Structure 1
Amino acid sequence: MTLLQRNFCSITAVQLAENLFATTPVMHRFLLIEYNYAWEEKVLETSTIIPDEVKAFLDTGVENGDFSRIFLVKNGQSNRDSIHLFLVNNRPEDPFAKQLCINNYQDLLAIDFRQEFANETDRLPEPMYLVCTHGKVDMCCSKFGLPIYKRLIELGADVWQCTHVTGDRFAPNVVQVPSGHYYGHLQLDEIEPFYDTLQSNQLYFTKYRGQSWYSKPQQAADYFLRKHLADFQVDSLTLVKSEVLSDDSQKFIFSHRDRQADYALVIQYTLSEPVYVMNCKATEKKPVDLFNLLSLTKLTQLPSEEKPSRYHYTQLA
């Protein structure tokens, strides 16, 4: 079978019109490590370049909650005399990334990552872009990711190839740093408007997968509210409350920065029929999470003298 004859999971997902929103993996802080060598499927586990004691140290960092995930990155342009590290705090309010440089991977053992994340000085001044090109995990990532990576280089972006970011069927996947916003199914001819939109602190909403700090129900609520308001400014919404209502529903309250109002959304979630192909290596179809908006209510904040009722309720959906 030739490459052109293969069934690519990304193309299948588009044909099935699978939702992009609320598909982002949940991460609370993550670490990027430069690795300019071949990427096998489980590259961090199998690498003979990174010492085993360093791998164990990094595993402990994940277990202790210093960071949620580790990605390996490369761009073919950096100085080979040093290794770049990027610490990313992808919290929704005031995210940041910072860069460290080490001489070898053994130097990772001397870094107090909890302290480094707490020290928010020396932030990177401009966003970075990660493009998953990890073809040994899924061929869609390299086939569709590499052209996007090269186009972003042409546009002058600070862009790096990245190991598996999850969601193979949404390739090409792009992650903006430090915001942790995920995008999928990008086409080569839309990369310039995509890049311009993100550089202006807006979400490229048609290909938006979600904010990686949020749970998937929270991502769904964020998506539905932004769609309702037609507000795609990155920092216009703040999640202020989450409440579990039942086994299959949650309530979320978001505050809007400019409209002097909060919004309450009730999200219901369920599983689809098993009709989706998770990746190009899949031998069976599986269900995916589905999210429905049950209600959307505007909670206009009233002056403090009008308490005890804080809100005026206006049902919107």
Structure 2
Amino acid sequence: MTLPRCSDVHVEPLPGSAKQGSVFVCFEHPGGWSRDVLDGGTFGPELTARLKSALKGRAGLQLIRRPGREGRLVERPHLFIVHAQSATTELLRVDGPEAILDLELETPMANGGTAVAEPLLLVCTHGKRDLCCAVKGRPLAATLRDGPLGHSVWETSHTKGHRFAPALMLLPWAYSYGQLNEPAAASLLEHAHAGDFFHPGNRGRGVFDSAGQVAELAVAQRLLEAGERLRFGDLTATGGQVSHIDGRCWAVDMERTYVEGAIASCGKAPKAAKVLVARSVEQTG
């Protein structure tokens, strides 16, 4: 029996599935990406061990490259340091991955780089991790790169959630997205440049845990459906408690349940998956 591709099976809710993290190092590496970019196959065992030590508990690493053949020709790689809590991005041009070892990662804009005001949209194309990301991510990245805001688009290594491919990460806010077609992804990019919250395909903000992601998206949906303008970063979530920068607060009741037929990765058999869903939203302040 031939199993379907994992991203062709849409049984899991998107909210609550975002890659978690608040600090990200995005290094331009147009060469080959091994299955895990820190398994020794990309940078070799010695440098990989040093990179792991330098980043552990401090930041997540994303390898990035420009879509298309021109993205393989790099003289001095881009290196972005993103602090999602403060929504700040710092850009350095470096000689190689060794530059990651000396980064100051605890404080935003502490490395003498250039502040980047515009968002970055990372599209996972990491085919060695899962085929779906190559099949669905690469065409989307190429199309977006040819659009009017294409300078903000990068291919990236694994972002978690290839079963939702094409899988995207929006920085500097650390929102993950999935299952967007080309028009929807282009709309996401337009919203991001305006700072306006984009709800379709939103899997959550990585600075929150799974419950916080579900709760924030439930409140965001309620506000957007009421016709309110919402901007990225307006909401903060702690578990089921959500607050707005204007002082309003909500309590979101959630339930853990199961869905049948989820496929975690291509080649794996379908199974039940535990998910967290919002049941009600009540304004408390």
TM-score between both structures, scaled by the size of structure 2? 0.86
Cα deviation, residue 184, structure 1: 0.7
**SS of equivalent to 1:265:** strand
- Could you tell me which amino acid in structure 2 is paired with residue 140 of structure 1? C
CA distance in 2, matches of 1:71, 1:215: 20
Note if 1:191 corresponds to 2:220: no
For 1:168 and 1:44, how far apart are their aligned partners in 2?
Answer: 18
Whole-angstrom CA distance in 1 between matches of 2:46 and 2:183:
44
Amino acid at match of 1:204: F
CA RMSD for the aligned pairs? 2.5
Higher relative contact order (CA 8 A, sep 6+): 2
Instruction: Look up the match of 1:104.
Output: 96
Q: For residue 15 of structure 2, give the secondary structure of its aligned residue in structure 1.
A: coil
Write the mapping of 1:1-317 to structure 2, written as runs, cut at 5 A.
7-13=4-10, 16=11, 18-47=12-41, 50-63=43-56, 65-67=57-59, 69-75=60-66, 76-77=70-71, 80-91=74-85, 94-114=86-106, 118=110, 122-155=114-147, 156-157=149-150, 158-230=152-224, 231=228, 233-235=230-232, 237-239=234-236, 242=238, 250-257=239-246, 261-299=247-285
SS at match of 1:169: helix
What secondary structure sits across from 1:275 in the alignment? strand
How far has the Cα of 1:274 moved from its partner?
4.3
5+ residue gaps, structure 2, are: none
* Residue 273 (structure 1) shift: 4.1
Deviation at 1:172, TM superposition (A): 0.4
Q: Which amino acid letter does the alignment assign opposite residue 63 of structure 2?
A: L
Calculate the TM-score normalised by the size of structure 1.
Answer: 0.78
Please report how far the alpha carbon of residue 171 of structure 1 lies from its aligned counterpart in structure 2 after TM superposition: 0.5
> Aligned residues, how many?
277
Alpha-carbon distance between aligned partners in 1 of 2:240 and 2:102, rounded to the nearest angstrom: 43
| Cα separation, partners in 2 of 1:111 and 1:27, compared to 1, 3 Å | closer
Which secondary structure state, in structure 1, belongs to the residue aligned with residue 26 of structure 2? strand
Percent of matched pairs sharing the same residue: 22
Q: 1:38 to 1:215 in 2, by over 3 A?
A: same
Structure 1 residues 297 and 288, CA gap change in structure 2 (3 angstroms): same
Query: Counterparts of 2:189 and 2:101 in 1: how far apart (Å)?
Result: 36
User: Which of the two has higher C-alpha Rg?
Assistant: 1
**Could you list the runs of 5+ residues in structure 1 that have no partner in the other structure?**
243-249, 300-317
CA displacement at 1:121 relative to structure 2: 6.7
Q: Is the alpha carbon distance of 1:232 and 1:221 closer, same or farther for their aligned partners in structure 2, counting shifts above 3 Å?
A: farther
Distance in 1, matches of 2:109 and 2:75, equals: 25
Question: Residue by residue, what CA displacement relative to the aligned partner does 1:104-145 show, whole Å, maximum 9, x if unpaired?
Answer: 333433434446654687311211110000111111111111
SS of 1:131's equivalent? Answer: strand
C-alpha distance in 1, partners of 2:165/2:229?
A: 22
